[in-house]
Amino acid sequence: MNKQSGIHYLHEHKGSGDAVALPKELTRIRDTVVAGLGDLLQGAFDAVDDSLFELANNARSNNEQNRYFEAMREIRIKRKGVEKHFQASVANLFSHPPGASGPAIPEKSSQATADTLSLVQNDDLEEQVALNAMITKSRAYFQGPLIQLQTRFSAVYQSASEENPVNPMAPEHLCSAFVEATQALEIEIRERLIVLKQFDRYVVSNLGMLLDEANRIMIQAGVIPNFRYHGKAGEQGRRPVSGQSRSVAEDTSSTDYSSGVADNRRDEALFEQIRQMLAQQRAAGGSATPRSSDPNLHVVADTELFQLLSALPQQQPRDYTGTDLSEGEPLVVDLRALVEHLLRNTHTTDGKKPALDEMDEDLINLVSMLFEFILDDYNLSAPIQVLISRLQIPILKVVIKDKSFFSKANHPARKLLNTLARAGIGWSDSDEKARDKLYDQIHTIVMRILNEFDGDLTLFDKLGEEFDQFLARENRKANLVEQRTRESERGRIKSQKAQQTVDQLLQEKLARHRISESIRDILQNGWSRVMFLAYLRDDVEHRWNQSVRVVDDLIWCLHPHLDDEERDEWVRVVPALLKALRAGLEEVSYNSSKLDDMMSELKHELTEAFRAHALAEARETPPERSAEEDVPVVQQTAIERQQELEDAAIAEYIAQIELIEIGHWVEFNLVNGASFRCKLSAIIEEADCFVFVNRMGLKVIEKTRTELAHEMRRGRLTILEQGALIDRALDAVMGSLRRKSA
């Protein structure tokens, strides 16, 4: 394909040849994006290889099969070069960013006439249409993150302006870089479109996580951290919204910032309600008088209390090599008793009795109730639950140091706890801790908090950032594996469904007629393959009904016909029938050495049927039914009645199964007492099949709706809650206090 085809190509910016020095945040984004796109592109090329192999396996002729195998060989040989070229082009986009993003077709094409358009080859036009569709879809789907990122990039690059904004990660630039890289592939348009399709499925469709990561890095660097996007095309801003527009912005904003503000307001209100209920309990217990006004008490300041907690000896060794914090039961600490013990052993300078103020007492009670919920939370796997339980005293120190822990959803320590719990939801007891990177990472974070937290909350920011980067890498790998698993399962289940449909149809048709063994062999061992492929290709080629019609015509032609019109019809049908049978069997590579003999035998059978006038009446008379043959009907009726009772019993559970969405985690409990956790990856409606995968994206089990409902009815299936841990804990604490106040 030549580069004047009308497709928007990425042109290399060749100036003096000197390397352009980028700010560190841009360098970090560039390295992250190049590595991420490289991983995604590997998955795309793996899918291309699978697609071409499947097409070659189902090819109609040797020439077509050789074409696909040649394309596979070409791509395998040049794949590494294409990947390197693409990554280098993407890196170059950051050093020499293109101008304003626009449509995939260059501006000069807007002036194209009928004469110039006629010069565009059909192959080039097909590729251009596919590329433009890919770009348009991605720009619409990632509109919010793209606008935010373009605004932030334009603020960093000095060459950018409002009329000419900059976004190196715009889909049109990335797609053009890929098209340019694939020019080295000497393949035809059909195979090239397959490559573009898989690039769209595996790379472009997964740009969201890279866009979000780039925005996060920009926000951390202080580049327009409070940017708001209003969700309407063309509306964007670089400054925080103020005045009358603030309420509108908070209602319509699609950024994490605005959602964080809403969460903070909700948590502030909830925290105040909890404090009021705790105050009512103190009043009911006769402690309504503020302790600060009691002349006999020395109210301990926050700094004093923090120093007392920091003086506690570590319960775990500082060198945690060989030490597993998740061994044993969860660490239950009576924080109230612990603090009272510390106060009793504290000597004040004024000789007064040390005591807590009301706020600190409320916070201690709240932390205790918080960890009571965590230790009873079934959604956390046992080892992760034990690890988090080790953080009771550090979290109490955090709360004493910074009382906004409960009132701010974006508090660094709170965010880290939520992230640890969310990441560990899919961790099963059966996983090997010694070789599991996720468990080791969480274990390390918990130990570092125990050993290093001295009041500096930036430790939680640092650990949170490191853990987010770790999860991004792990999730990227798992998503690729999961996507391949999902596609593989869809293909396998569709093939299984096709085979079941073919077998059932042939069995029903052959059971109603007397057919010779040779004809049965043709249909069951030969033509069934044609029907199988026709079922799989029916969405594209609509050949399924034709393959079924051949079976019906063959059975009809094998029976004698006395009516003149039917005999005339027989004469018209048989030649086309024989031609269709031979063509179909040759297409599926049926035994060529036996095909001629088989077709000769088939012609003989058809001729005998045409001549058999005397047997017509006998063949049309249905065989008498014996008494024994009626028994299964009664048994089937009983089975059907039992099935109706079962369906009624699980109806409510079916409704719960319908609520499970893609990405939700569940836990299966086996009869032997073992359990495992998995995530719903795909729902294949045509086969009523739910496919579940583990954290690594590998398939672990598949079930139908009815089977899942029965598992839930027996108590062997539990849907896990995936909301933020601290949010759920606060809601539970609120409910507990309300019940006590009632």
Tell me what pLDDT residue 462 has: 93
Nearest to 325 by CA among 441, 417, 407, 247: 441
Phi-psi region of 402 (alpha: psi -120 to 50; beta: other; left: phi over 0): beta
The alpha-helical segments, DSSP class H, found in 650-693 are: 651-658
Going by their DSSP bridges, the two strands 665-669 and 675-684 should be labelled as: antiparallel
CA distance 599 to 95: 69
The predicted pLDDT at position 268 comes to 66
Grade residue 630 by pLDDT with cuts at 50, 70 and 90.
very low
Has residue 290 got a pLDDT over 80? no
Least confidently predicted of 41-55, 262-276, 600-614:
262-276
Three-state secondary-structure class, residue 646: helix
| Higher per-residue pLDDT: 85 or 341 | 85
User: pLDDT grade, residue 264 (50/70/90)?
Assistant: low
pLDDT for the residue numbered 2: 40
User: Nearest CA to 43 among 486, 340, 438, 449?
Assistant: 486
What confidence score (pLDDT) does residue 626 get?
Answer: 44
| Per-residue confidence (pLDDT) for residue 501, from 0 to 100 | 87
The CA radius of gyration of the chain, in Å to the nearest whole number, is: 35
Identify the pLDDT of residue 307: 86
Over residues 413-423, the pLDDT tens digits come to: 999 999 998 88
pLDDT tens sequence across 690-728: 999 988 888 889 999 889 998 998 889 998 887 788 888
How confident is the model over 103-132, as a mean pLDDT? Answer: 54
Instruction: Please give the average per-residue pLDDT across 453-479, as a whole number.
Output: 90
pLDDT of amino acid 240: 37
Structural domain spans, the chain: 24-103+118-223, 257-451+728-741, 505-620, 631-719
pLDDT at residue number 524? 85
Residue 652 has pLDDT above 90, yes or no: no
Strand-pairing partners, residue 666, are 678, 719
Contact partners, residue 127, CB within 8 Å, separation at least 6: 1, 5, 7, 179, 189, 192, 193, 196
Specify the fold of 631-719. SH3 type barrels. (2.30.30)
Q: Give φ, ψ of 683 to 5 degrees.
A: -120, 110
pLDDT of residue 235: 37
pLDDT digits (tens, 9 = 90+) for 495-509: 888 888 888 888 888
Would you state the pLDDT for residue 158?
Answer: 81
Is the confidence at residue 445, as pLDDT, over 90?
yes
Asked whether residue 403 carries a pLDDT value surpassing 60, the answer given is yes
Spatial contact of 6 and 109, defined as CB atoms under 8 Å apart: yes
Q: What are the tens digits of pLDDT across the range 305-329?
A: 888 888 876 544 333 344 566 665 6
Token pair 């063509």: residue = 583
Q: Average pLDDT of the chain?
A: 77
Write down the pLDDT at residue 351. Answer: 75
State mean pLDDT over 426-447.
Answer: 76
DSSP string, 176-205: HHHHHHGGG----HHHHHHHHHHHHHHTGG
